[in-house]
Amino acid sequence: MDNILRFNGNPHLETERLLPWYVTGQLDPEDRLQVEAHLAECEECRAELLLERRLGTEVARLPVETGLDWEAFSRRLDPASPPPEGKVFPMIRRALARPGRTGWFLSAQAAFVAALAVLIVPVLRPAPAPYHALGAAPAPANGNAIVIFRPDTSEQALRETLNANGARLVDGPTAADAYVLHLPAERREAALARLRADHDIVLAEPINASATP
Amino acid sequence: MANEKQRGPAMPQDEARLMARICAQDLPAFEELYRRYRPRLARFLTHLLRRPQLVEEVFNDTMMVVWSRPDSFSGASKLSTWIFAIAYRKALKASRREDEPIEDAHAHERVSPDAGPDQRVGQLRVQQALLGAIGQLSPNHRAVVDLTYFHGAGYREIAEIMDCPVDTVKTRMFHARRHLKRMLAGEFADWL
């Protein structure tokens, strides 16, 4: 039943084959033009189009009941087990480290920054500290935010940004130059908003995991 | 799911943020994703599998992959495409495991709850006929029908979910429509 049908030379059948996606607006431009050209001259296929619209509407309206339950499902989860090594580190590292292209990179549209968020966070796997020196300062609280600074941000600017927002460094820089921060819990959202507005920062997102150092 | 085939896999920013948090094992973020995908993914699986227990099993297995292997989402496709592809593969595996033919024993019990009393009889008849006709399709054909009509997926995205050529998707849809037209011949006459 899945032998591929090709209707080259038969515009009626080819139009019929494409109608479902013509109705939903999902045809490639060349296919759409082909269908529109044929519909303009074929009354039979215009009638088929009416049927197609109704069929699609009726199928989409079919009720489906499901009894899936988050509470039951969540009991299967074990938040303590960390995700495995991410496979996309190299991509993000190359993107961040690419010399001479930070200008356009940093002004990239929001969608790209959002994609970075997905790619970058696998670096947040908890990494146990190898040792604690006597007299060392108390370990900061767990990280509750992740930020990426512009590659050319100076150490002084980075420090000033952290101080201005009451942020403590929990981890980083990671392999992809991301930092895990602890922000004061009660002011986290406000601090994140300021960080996102900071021209030295590419990405600032909240995290709730226990990304202990 | 719609309107992405020409633009590439640009992901909505809120979904990107959710995935970023899920990669950091943020349980509230995962719960939000679960609740966001439950209605449409459960619908897709219900059409595909027809058995509530299998639907629940495959849905949960799919979400476990999202939770435990979020890094396997490379960003090369849309998030919904990735999740639906996982669900489709798991559904096929689960249905192969079952020997019995899959029938929709509860089709007659389902009808839109928002229908008024005067609409219910006609709507019930159409929906029963449609559910019966769709139920006779193979799982692959049902998947194409549901992804196209309900989820608004294009043929390229469906091909990605089902891991098959675009022409196969078009062909499956052609056969599925022909079957639905045959089974709903009476209704089709009324629709014109």
Residue B135: pLDDT over 70:
yes
Within-domain flag for A69: no
Q: What's the pLDDT at A104? A: 43
Over chain A, what is the mean pLDDT?
71
Give me the percent of chain B exceeding a pLDDT of 90.
42
- Spell out which residues of chain B touch residue A82, defining contact as CB-CB under 8 Å: 25
Which of A58, A171, A182 best probes binding to B when mutated, by most B CB atoms within 10 angstroms? A58
- B155 touches A18 (CB < 8 A): no
Nearest residue to B135 via CA among B112, B169, B106, B92: B106
Once rounded to an integer, what is the mean pLDDT over residues B176-182? Answer: 91
pLDDT band at A76 (very low <50, low <70, confident <90, very high): confident
Shortest Cα–Cα distance, A97 to chain B (Å): 19
Residue B11: pLDDT over 90:
no
- Inter-chain residue contact A62 with B67, CB threshold 8 Å: no
pLDDT band at A7 (very low <50, low <70, confident <90, very high): low
Once rounded to an integer, what is the mean pLDDT over residues B144-148? Answer: 94
- Inter-chain residue contact A21 with B154, CB threshold 8 Å: yes
> Are A119 and A183 part of one and the same domain?
yes
Q: What's the pLDDT at B63? A: 94
> Are A52 and A148 part of one and the same domain?
no
Within-domain flag for A161: yes
Q: What's the pLDDT at B71? A: 86
Among the residue ranges A6-10, A79-83, B76-80, the one predicted with the least confidence is: A79-83
Q: Domain spans of chain B?
A: 13-103+114-191
Within-domain flag for A207: yes
Question: Three-class SS string for A102-151?
Answer: HHHHHCCCHHHHHHHHHHHHHHHCCCCCCCCCCCCCCCCCCEEEEEEECC
Residues 6+ apart with CB under 8 A from A175: A89, A93, A123
pLDDT band at A43 (very low <50, low <70, confident <90, very high): very high
Q: How many domains does chain A have?
A: 2
Q: What's the pLDDT at A17? A: 92
CATH number, domain with residue A179: 3.30.70.80
Architecture of domain B13-103+114-191: Orthogonal Bundle (1.10)
Within-domain flag for A93: yes
Within-domain flag for A1: no
Residues 6+ apart with CB under 8 A from B108: B128, B131
C-beta neighbour count of B11 within 10 angstroms: 24
Sign of the alpha-carbon torsion through B104, B105, B108, B111: negative
> Are A45 and A121 part of one and the same domain?
no
Nearest residue to B106 via CA among B27, B50, B158: B50
Range of the domain at A184: 89-130+139-211
- Inter-chain residue contact A59 with B145, CB threshold 8 Å: yes
pLDDT digits (tens, 9 = 90+) for B97-108: 775 444 444 544
Residue B15: pLDDT over 80:
yes
pLDDT digits (tens, 9 = 90+) for A191-208: 888 888 888 887 788 877
Once rounded to an integer, what is the mean pLDDT over residues A25-30? Answer: 94
CA dist., res. B33 & res. B39, Å (int): 11
**What is the pTM (predicted TM-score) of this model?**
0.60
pLDDT band at A130 (very low <50, low <70, confident <90, very high): very low
CA dist., res. A170 & res. A113, Å (int): 22
Which of A17, A19, A52, A59 best probes binding to B when mutated, by most B CB atoms within 10 angstroms? A59
- A20 touches A56 (CB < 8 A): yes
Report how far Cα B115 is from the mean position of its chain's Cα atoms. 23
Residue B20: pLDDT over 50:
yes
> Are A191 and A121 part of one and the same domain?
yes
> Are A99 and A31 part of one and the same domain?
no
Within-domain flag for A186: yes
pLDDT band at B87 (very low <50, low <70, confident <90, very high): very high
Q: What's the pLDDT at B186? A: 73
Q: What's the pLDDT at A141? A: 59
- Inter-chain residue contact B192 with A51, CB threshold 8 Å: yes
Give me the percent of chain A exceeding a pLDDT of 70.
59
* Residue A20, token pair as written in the block: 């479902």
Angle at which helices B166-183 and B139-149 cross, to 10°: 90
> Are A95 and A171 part of one and the same domain?
yes
Residue A105: pLDDT over 80:
no
> Are A154 and A118 part of one and the same domain?
yes
- Inter-chain residue contact A77 with B71, CB threshold 8 Å: no
Once rounded to an integer, what is the mean pLDDT over residues A114-135? Answer: 48
Residue B159: pLDDT over 90:
yes
DSSP string across B23-67: HTT-HHHHHHHHHHHHHHHHHHHHHHH--HHHHHHHHHHHHHHHH
CA dist., res. A181 & res. A169, Å (int): 5
Residue B90: pLDDT over 80:
yes
pLDDT band at B125 (very low <50, low <70, confident <90, very high): confident
Shortest Cα–Cα distance, A78 to chain B (Å): 9
> Are A175 and A101 part of one and the same domain?
yes
